[in-house]
Amino acid sequence: MKGTFMKFKTSDGISLDYTDQGTGYPVVFVTGFGGYKEIWTLQVRYLLEMGYRVVTYDHRNQGASQRVKKNDSFTRLILDLRELIQYLQLEKPILVGHSMGASICYGYIAKFRQVAGIIGVDQTPKMLNTATWPFGFMNATATNYKQVASREPRIKETLHGLNRDVLDRLLVQKNRHPFERSRNIELLEKHFTKDWVSTLNVSEIPVLLIAAIQSPYYDAKFVDAIAQVNKNVYGAKLNNCGHVIMAELPKEFNQLLRHFVLKNRHRQVG
C-alpha cells in the first residue's frame, strides 16, 4: 500500500495520518511531543534514494491525525505504532524516533521484539533527574515534574534554526493543524515518568543514541552512560546543533542514519 497521505484507523477507532513510500526494507519515523511527520522530510528523501521503504505518521492529537477528547496514555502511543506496523505488514522495521518519539521506540522494544534496530534522537531514556541519574530533562525531578511539564520552556529548541525546506513544510502543517499543548499535558506527564534505562541496558536489539551537545534539554553524556553498559548500544554526540538534530544538521545526521541502516540490513533479511 503506497502513496502520500493516507489514513489508518486504530483498534480504538482513532484515525492516524501516515505516509508510506518506497518498496525496500522498512524504516519507520516517530515524531516527538507536538511534532509533525514533515520534520523527517530530508530523511525520507534520503532513504528513498537508498531504496528503502519509508513510513511516517502523526500521533493522535497531533499533525493531521484525529483529535481526541482525552490523550493521557503513553502506552496507547506505543500500541498505535504497533498496530500501524502490523497493518502495513512491515517485517523487522528499523524505528527512528525523535524526542518523545524516541521514548516510544524505547517502550516499543520493551514490549515487542520484531524490530531490526532503533535510533533515538536527543532523548534521554529517563526524564527525571536523581542522585544516580543526572541526565534527565532540564531540572525535572520526581517532586517537580508536573510543574515542569505544565510550563512550556522559554528556550530556543534549535541552535541556528531548521533547514529551510523542512521549515516551509512544517509551517504549512502547523497552520493547517495547530497543536494544543494544554490538551496534552497529561500525556507529557506520563512521558516524564517513564524510565527506559533498564530496557536499553539489556537490549539485544541494536540501538543508536544520537545527542546534541548544545541540546537545551539534555546533557549529551547520557549516551555514554548507556553505551558503556551495553555493547548493543552505540552513542553519537553532534556539535553545533540543538534539539532537532535531523533538521538542523541533515547531512551529518543522514550519514549516521545511513551507517546504521546499512550495518543492520542483515537483521531485516529473511
User: Quick one: pLDDT at residue 144?
Assistant: 98
Residue whose C-alpha is closest to residue 109's, from 266, 16, 230, 236: 230
User: Quick one: pLDDT at residue 122?
Assistant: 99
In the block, which residue shows the cell 515487542? Answer: 112
User: Quick one: pLDDT at residue 1?
Assistant: 38
CB burial of 214-236 (b: ≥16 within 10 Å; e: otherwise) equals ebebbbbebbebbbeeeeebbbb
For the chain, state the CA radius of gyration.
17
User: Quick one: pLDDT at residue 69?
Assistant: 86
Instruction: Return the C-alpha torsion angle 27, 43, 137, 77, nearest 10.
Output: -40
CATH class held by domain 3-268 = alpha beta
How would you write the pLDDT of the chain (270 residues) with one tens digit per residue?
A: 345 679 999 999 999 999 999 999 999 999 999 999 999 999 999 999 999 999 999 999 999 999 998 888 999 999 999 999 999 999 999 999 999 999 999 999 999 989 999 999 999 999 999 999 999 999 999 999 999 999 988 899 999 999 999 999 999 999 999 999 999 999 999 999 999 999 999 999 999 999 999 999 999 999 999 999 999 999 999 999 999 999 999 999 999 999 999 999 999 986
Residue whose C-alpha is closest to residue 39's, from 81, 85, 98: 98
Rounded to the nearest 10 degrees, what angle do helices 100-111 and 185-193 cross at? 60
CB burial of 169-187 (b: ≥16 within 10 Å; e: otherwise) equals bbeebeeeeebeeeebbeb
User: Quick one: pLDDT at residue 230?
Assistant: 98
Domain boundaries, the chain: 3-268
Q: What is the pTM of this model?
A: 0.97
